[in-house]
Amino acid sequence: MDRPDRRLAVTLLLFSFISFSTQKTSISWCVVSEAEEQKCLDLAGSATARNIRGTLLCVRGQSPTDCMEKIKNGTADAAAMFADDIYTAGWCFGLELAAGESYNGVDGISYYVVALARRSSSDLSLLEMHERSSCHPGIRTTVGWTVPIGFLVNTSQISVDEQCNFPKAVGDFFGYSCVPGVKDREHDPRGSNPKNLCEACIGDDNERHICVNNHRERHYGEAGALRCVAENLGDVAFVKHTTIFDNMDGNNMESWAMDLELEDLKLLCPDGSEAGPFDHETCHLAVVPANAVVVRLEDKCRVWKYLERLQNAFGNTTMFSSVGYTQSDLLFSDSTHHLLRVVGSYTSWLGPSYTTVLQAFECESLC
């Protein structure tokens, strides 16, 4: 090798060494609560004790949106987020995904949103819901609001005014409903949301706390929306596909659930047809994707490799469990079986049905 070639080889070797030595080896995780921060610190300590390559740092954020901002500007590297937040992170902040949660079922899928009705309601169709009654788990929830209202907007059944007033449009569309929380100050600061969105609500045993956004309203949540239909106070309930089975066969000992029979219920399909309660894979409003880890595009590979080392060392015992803390689903969902590498974009993870639903709300200025 002559002298110029030797000089070039030395230069390349030195450059490679410098690049390797300055490569970032820490992962800064954005947390949004004291309990989540404590679990992050505990996991970091366990990783250090196991001599896992890399360092886990914990950065406190005020909200998922604040974490998105921190990840974008580089003061944090990653955070696991729900599907709605993933869309905002991608659409508004240009972020991507490094890993997604798997719940030991169909990879990448969290649950299906279905429209549930009584089998005796023979004249119901999801394409002709005007003036019918509806039961929702809660305001501004994925299952009870984003997916069903997005579907109704996208099928041109609901038109939203220039002020982007969704509650008014929904109230004008349905005859009456139970949408817990729709009259709360947080969601209705001017006190102008339609009263008929609370008419199918029943409150507590003393008929107090009607339409509140918690379990004092007996039609709140997944089970509450199912109860609303079971008690013939609503024509359709928008729920997760697991809701029926979570409240039958002794899983719910309340009288309304004890009397519930599977043959009493059916699913309403987006094409106007109907199906049995087990047919959620072919009859649903949307597939809601599993939670995923939001990162900057250039960090997809680095963050995944660190997470892979963590889960290889800890599995779902330490990494995916919140036992012993004051909250559940810390850092990751407690039901996570393992993490999957996300190679594609955030839109490919969210899937077409869910992305289309979210696009119906773009007038609300997510960014």
DSSP 15-45: HHHHHHHTS--EEEEEE-SHHHHHHHHHHHH
SS3 for 363? helix
Same domain, 35 and 179: no
Whole domain around residue 90: which residue ranges? 25-103+290-349+358-364
Same domain, 90 and 230: no
Q: What is d(CA 31, CA 36) in angstroms, rounded to the nearest whole number? A: 6
pLDDT at 19 (0 to 100): 37
Same domain, 270 and 190: yes
Beta bridge partners of 26: 55
Same domain, 116 and 196: yes
Q: How many domains does the chain have?
A: 2
> Long-range contacts: 316-325, Cβ < 8 Å, 24+?
318/43, 318/46, 319/43, 322/35, 322/39, 325/35, 325/38, 325/39
Same domain, 248 and 152: yes
pLDDT at 367 (0 to 100): 81
Last residue of a domain, one of 261, 287, 313: 287
pLDDT at 327 (0 to 100): 87
Same domain, 113 and 250: yes
Same domain, 34 and 131: no
Q: What is d(CA 26, CA 53) in angstroms, rounded to the nearest whole number? A: 9
Nearest to 271 by CA among 145, 155, 122: 155
Last residue of a domain, one of 253, 272, 287: 287
Same domain, 283 and 295: no
pLDDT at 341 (0 to 100): 97
Query: Does 282 fall in a domain?
Result: yes
Query: Does 81 fall in a domain?
Result: yes
Task: Determine phi and psi for 346, rounding to 5 degrees.
Answer: -65, -30
Same domain, 148 and 252: yes
In this structure, which amino acid lies at residue 27? Answer: I
pLDDT at 365 (0 to 100): 73
Query: Does 16 fall in a domain?
Result: no
Structure-token pair, residue 193 = 């949301």
Same domain, 181 and 272: yes
In this prediction the pTM is: 0.82
Same domain, 281 and 327: no
List the chain residues with pLDDT less than 70. 1-23
